[in-house]
């Protein structure tokens, strides 16, 4: 027992030392990156890591200075396996390693539990991709994101359904996950406020493949639009079964649906489906084509989140330079005042750490591919 507590003391002492070194703005500023680097979402996670790497390499090549002293940024990439438990372990490890800030995590389900650890350690966190509203609404002054959140997405989807698609009778399905339910609730509030009828609200799970019973119910209510809050493994068979049952209503979903996998799984039934994604298509981003050329030369095609991770690093480095310190206590208030023209668009944070001008783009499946229709962005 005594040996154990001695070991714990020693460990605490050592990590304490490590932390101090980076606080004092020595030559190395450590930035953590947490994302699923292995497993089914590894491609997306690696994409995010590479986006951040590209930014760190570029910044280092420009001989950055913080508070008049030359510094080198170092990226510590950790694998959270898209698993909340692993994510908290990884977060603790990054804190122990003395990072000044963290880019990540990728999934809302990992970002939210990890955010508490960063908050308690007073470390800045920017998620390039977590969209769950809760992440920035826990009262943590350390939590930021550079992508529009689900509430913003749900609102835009509701607007689009009623104003652009002219839907009056709307049926809503969600998969009872935090993401699906949150998106569907915000969508429902928006369409109701715009005077459309929500004729049916049905539920499924994120493991189901049979939706015949709930779709038959929906069919009886004769909707002109079916909204689904959930992911592509459900959306694919769902739209097939809709068409099978002779439901000709339009189909609309969020970013969980706007994937190539949805088109593969739904087959010809996917044609004409609508879905949204936060952010702009890479070709429409202010500095998108330029970024794409740089990134592709080094890492191959962009998957999705690379430009957001890239911007997040620049935003962090900018705040540190301006504050003249890599100590989160000093640069956090400066980070909140960020006004930066990134690859992905203008980055300014509101009091919660959400983007004030997050863009949302609507897509439709046309001839077997997602085609961007229009982008909504507050000005």
Partner 1 sequence: MDILAQQILNGLVLGSIYAVVALGYTMVYGILELINFAHGEVTMMGAMVAISVIGLGLAAGLPALPLIVLAMLAAIAACMLLGLGIERFAYRPLRRAPRLAPLITAIGMSILLQNIAMMIWGKQYIPFPPVFPQGEHRILGAHVTDVQIIILITTVLLMLALTLLVKHTRLGRAMRAIAQSQPVAQLMGVNVNAVVAATFAIGSALAAVAGVLVAANYGQAQYYMGFLLGLKAFSAAVLGGIGNIAGAMLGGLLLGLIESLGAGYIGQLTGGFLGSNYQDVFAFFVLILVLVFRPSGLLGERVVERA
Taking CB under 8 A as the rule, does residue 261 contact partner 1?
A: yes
| Region of 14-22, 73-81, 149-157, 209-217 interacting with partner 1 (CB under 8 A) | 209-217
| Region of 3-11, 202-210, 305-313, 366-374 interacting with partner 1 (CB under 8 A) | 202-210
Shortest spacing between CB 265 and partner 1, in angstroms: 5
Taking CB under 8 A as the rule, does residue 237 contact partner 1?
A: yes
Considering only 76, 245, 334, 373, the residue that binds partner 1 (CB under 8 A) is: 245
Taking CB under 8 A as the rule, does residue 244 contact partner 1?
A: yes
Tell which positions 140-199 bind partner 1, by CB under 8 A: 176
Shortest spacing between CB 209 and partner 1, in angstroms: 4
Shortest spacing between CB 82 and partner 1, in angstroms: 10
Taking CB under 8 A as the rule, does residue 253 contact partner 1?
A: no
| Region of 1-9, 10-18, 103-111, 212-220 interacting with partner 1 (CB under 8 A) | 212-220
Nearest alpha-carbon partner for 169 in 227, 251, 225, 220 = 225
Taking CB under 8 A as the rule, does residue 204 contact partner 1?
A: yes
Q: Which residues bind partner 1 (CB under 8 A)?
A: 39-40, 176, 201-205, 207, 209-210, 212-214, 216-217, 219-220, 232-233, 236-237, 240, 244-246, 261, 264-267
């Amino acid at each position: 027992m005594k040996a154990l507590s001695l070991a714990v003391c020693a460990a605490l002492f050592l990590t304490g030392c490590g932390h101090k070194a980076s606080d004092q703005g020595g030559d190395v500023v450590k930035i953590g990156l947490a994302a699923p680097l292995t497993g089914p979402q590894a491609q997306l996670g690696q994409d995010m890591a590479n986006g951040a790497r590209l930014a760190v390499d570029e910044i280092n090549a420009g001989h950055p200075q913080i508070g008049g002293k030359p510094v080198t940024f170092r990226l510590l990439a950790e694998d959270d396996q898209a698993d909340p438990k692993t994510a908290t372990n990884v977060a603790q490890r990054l804190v122990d390693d003395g990072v000044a800030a963290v880019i990540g995590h990728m999934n809302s389900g990992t970002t939210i539990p990890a955010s508490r650890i960063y908050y308690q350690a007073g470390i800045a966190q920017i998620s390039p991709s977590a969209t769950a509203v809760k992440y920035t609404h826990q009262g943590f002054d350390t939590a930021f994101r550079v992508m529009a959140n689900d509430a913003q997405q749900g609102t835009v989807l509701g607007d689009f359904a009623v104003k652009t698609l002219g839907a009056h009778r709307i049926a809503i399905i969600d998969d009872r996950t935090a993401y699906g339910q949150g998106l569907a609730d915000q969508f429902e509030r928006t369409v109701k406020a715009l005077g459309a009828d929500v004729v049916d609200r049905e539920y499924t799970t994120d493991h189901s493949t049979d939706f015949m019973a709930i779709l038959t119910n929906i069919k009886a209510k004769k909707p002109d639009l079916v909204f689904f809050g959930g992911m592509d493994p459900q959306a694919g068979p769902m739209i097939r079964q809709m068409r099978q049952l002779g439901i000709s209503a339009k189909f609309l979903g969020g970013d969980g649906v706007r994937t190539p996998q949805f088109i593969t799984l739904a087959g010809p039934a996917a044609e004409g489906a609508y879905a949204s994604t936060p952010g702009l298509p890479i070709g429409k981003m202010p500095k998108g084509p330029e970024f794409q050329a740089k990134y592709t030369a080094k890492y191959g095609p962009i998957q999705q989140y690379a430009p957001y991770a890239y911007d997040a690093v620049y935003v962090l480095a900018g705040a540190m330079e301006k504050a003249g310190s890599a100590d989160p206590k000093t640069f956090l208030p400066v980070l909140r005042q960020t006004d930066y023209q990134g690859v992905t668009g203008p980055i300014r944070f509101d009091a919660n750490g959400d983007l004030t001008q997050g863009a949302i783009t609507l897509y439709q499946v046309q001839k077997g591919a997602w085609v961007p229709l229009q982008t909504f962005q507050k000005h």
